[in-house]
Amino acid sequence: MSNFGTRLIGAIKSKGQKMESEMSFFSHLEALRWHLIRAGVAILLFAIVAFIYFDSIFANIIMAPTKPTFWTYRMMCNAGAWLHSVFSFLDPKGFCVEKIDVELINTELAGQFNLQLNSSIMIGLILGLPYLLYELWKFIKPALHEKERKAAGGFVFYSSFLFMLGVLFGYYVVTPLSVRFLASYIVSDKIKNLFSIDSFISSETMLTLIAGIVFQLPIVVYILSSLGILTPQFMRSKRRYATIIILVLAAIITPSPDALTMLVVAMPLFLLYEFSIMVSAIVVRRKAKREKEEANA
């Protein structure tokens, strides 16, 4: 009877621990749910604002890269004039964009409504991403040790900053260069370029978001270096391969036969890679210093 009582008490304790573990899991799940709900509300608010002011956004932001007055084209024209002053044999208007033939069509009954709705949601996601990262950080933060919190303290700011920087690079550099080339490219005079609005918006969104994701490279390098997977020595030794990959990526992003255009896109990516090497070196140096201090303690 005594053995039975002992087994019964043990089973009750085990059941209690299991229930406590399950409750802890569900409480964490509930906390995550509320973090995601708050982030979703922020994204929804941005999307609603974008939907209300979509006429202005469409004319002044989405369609801006199709206008010769776009900031990038004006800077290209100024650069051409400066190069002419240095090298007189160059055409001063060689980089100027006087006209871009982009004629958009809609082929679906609800196409324009879906365009406004989907574009507004995408704008909401882009603008709401920093707050989404902040909510995820608030959820993860309690599970980290003090040193881990300090090491990852600037995650939300740096990740958001790099993403927005990449989005701006994609919008002001990659998108206009691609639009200028692809809109004017023809195989035969018998074929007229008529672009569906869905095709134009999806291409512009893809180019912009890809640039934003690529600019997360320093964050990825920071995480991998912190885990001991990546070292600055490895990145330096593979620099030639990285150079080839960057040039191929630049050629894919900007399908232009102009080498200068490809280099304009590739140069920031080179700088991003070199900056990532610096990030990795700082992480490895701090990690070695911390391990040395712990060994001497």
Task: Report yes or no on whether pTM surpasses 0.85.
Answer: no
Report how far residue 175's alpha carbon sits from residue 208's, in angstroms, rounded to the nearest whole number.
7
**Other C-beta atoms lying within 10 Å of the C-beta of residue 218:** 19
Report how far residue 73's alpha carbon sits from residue 172's, in angstroms, rounded to the nearest whole number.
9
Give the model's pLDDT for residue 113: 93
Chunk the chain into consecutive blocks of 10 residues (it has 297) and report each block's average pLDDT, rounded to whole numbers.
Answer: 46 47 64 88 96 95 91 86 77 78 88 93 93 86 69 79 93 89 83 88 90 91 86 92 88 71 85 93 85 73
**In this structure, what token pair is assigned to residue 35?**
């973090």
Give the model's pLDDT for residue 22: 47
Give the model's pLDDT for residue 30: 79
Alpha-carbon distances of 229 from 53, 62, 232, rounded to whole Å: 46, 40, 11
Give the model's pLDDT for residue 290: 78
Residues 6+ apart with CB under 8 A from 167: 126, 208, 209, 211, 212
Biggest distance spanned by C-alpha atoms of the chain: 105
Residues 6+ apart with CB under 8 A from 115: 106, 197, 198, 201
**In this structure, what token pair is assigned to residue 26?**
């569900």
**Other C-beta atoms lying within 10 Å of the C-beta of residue 50:** 21
Report how far residue 114's alpha carbon sits from residue 98's, in angstroms, rounded to the nearest whole number.
32
Amino acid 281 reads A
Report how far residue 128's alpha carbon sits from residue 65's, in angstroms, rounded to the nearest whole number.
24
Beta bridge partners of 195: 104
Contacts 24+ apart (CB under 8 A), 277-283: 277/221, 277/232, 277/235, 277/236, 278/232, 279/218, 279/221, 279/222, 279/225, 280/221, 280/222, 280/224, 280/225, 280/230, 280/231, 280/232, 280/235, 281/232, 283/222, 283/225, 283/226
